[in-house]
Copies of this chain bind each other. A is one copy, B any other.
C-alpha cells in the first residue's frame, strides 16, 4: 500500500502533465466560449434586477420568499431542459415586526442609535427595557468582569472586524462569534440584553443583521446589532460617562415553522446520468435590503448555467443539477433537507459548487472533500481559469448549503469572488441591485458554468 504522501505526489505530477496539455486543447476553447457568452449575452444581471428590485428581500417563511420560489421555478422551466421541480422543506419563521429602537439617555435627552434586531432574537418587554451598559471587546473581558459587574446590565460587544486580513471572510470568521454567541455569553452573567457591533469593515451608519443563537440552559435575552458609527458613538459616550443608560425596545418574534421549498432544475447527463454535480446558491435572504449580493447573485449565476448549456449546445456527460436552497440565513434547512433526501434515494453526488460570496469579480475556488486526492485532482484545471484572472485555489471549504453533502463524499467547491466590498453590504438595507456590476456578476456565472462543464466531462476521477 502506497503512503498517502506518495499517492498525492503521483496525482500531483499527473495533474501537472495533464494540465499542461489540456490547457492548450479543446477545454480552453469551451471555457472561452462560456465566458464570452456570459459577458456578451448573460441573463444573470436582468434576472437579478427582477429578483432584487421587483420581489425584494425574502426571509424564509415570508410572502416574498414564496414569490421568489415561484419566479425561480417558472424562469428555469422556461429555459426548457425538462426536469424542474420543488422540494418541500419546513423552515423556521422569525419576524422582525415594527419596533426596534435603541436610545442613549444623556443629560441632553435621548439620542437615537441605529440598530437591527438579530435574527432569532426574542423581544424586549413592551415599552422596552432601560439599563446601564458594560462595553467589552472580547469574551475574555466579559469573563473577567463577572456577574458582579454584568448583572442587570446590557453588554455591548464592541469588537471591530480586523482590517488587516486580506480576505474579508477571515475577518468575518474572527469577529462573527460576538454576533452568534454574544447574547448567550452575556446572559450567563445575568445581562438583560446584548448589543453587537455590526460585522463590517466600513465605517457607516448601516446596522447589519444576521443569525444569533441561544442555548437552552441559559436565559434568552434580546440581541441586536448597532452600526459601526453608532458603536463608536456609544463607546465614546461611555468613556465620558460610564454610568449612562440605554433604552432598548424590540418586538420581534419566532412563529411556528412553515412549509417552503428548494427549487431544482436539472440537465440529465448523457453518459453517466447517475453522477450528479450540484450548482447552487440560496434563494432566501434577510429581511433588509434586497439580498442582491447575498445571495441573489449566486441564484441567478446558478440559473445561468442552464442557459449556457442550452445556448451553446453543450451536452453534459454527467447530470448537472441547479439547486436554489431555501433558508441558508437562519436555519440551513434547505441544505440539510437536500442532503437527507439525496442520501435516502442513494444518489451519487460527485461534486457541488456554491456561489454565496457576492456577485463580485471571481478570484478563485475554495474546496473541501473527505478525499484529499479529489481536491488535488480538480486543480488540474487551474490554468484554464487564469485568462479570467481566477488564480486563488484554496482549501477553505465549499459553502453552507452544500456542506451537508460532505459526508456523502462529494467534492465541495465554493466560488470565491474578490471580497473587499462584500461586508459593506452584507445583511443591510443597502444590499441592493445598484451595488452589482453586470460584468462582475456574469464573470462569476462563467466561472461556475465552466467548472460544472469540466466536472461533467471528466468527473472526479481521482475517486475511482
Contacts and interface: CB of A to CB of B under 8 A. Distances in A.
A225 interface: no
B388 A389 contact: no
Nearest to A386: B391
A182 B363 CA distance: 37
Interface string A430-464: 00000001111001000000000000000000000
B36 A439 contact: no
Contact of A438 (B166, B202, B361, B392): B202
Nearest to A162: B40
Interface in A324-359: none
Contact of A39 (B164, B418, B421, B438): B164
A35 B165 CA distance: 10
A42 to B, nearest CB: 9
In the complex this chain forms, how many copies of it are found?
2
A420 interface: yes
Interface of A: 35-36, 39-40, 163-164, 166, 168, 201-202, 361, 363, 386-389, 391-392, 418, 420-421, 424, 437-440, 443
Contact of A389 (B36, B201, B391, B421): B391
Contacts of A36: 164
The 10 closest A-B pairs by CB, nearest first: A391-B391, A39-B163, A420-B439, A40-B163, A36-B164, A420-B440, A361-B418, A421-B437, A361-B420, A39-B164
Contact of A424 (B361, B421, B437): B437
Nearest to A39: B163
Given A420-B439, A421-B440, 4 more contacts: A39-B164, A166-B388, A202-B438, A418-B418
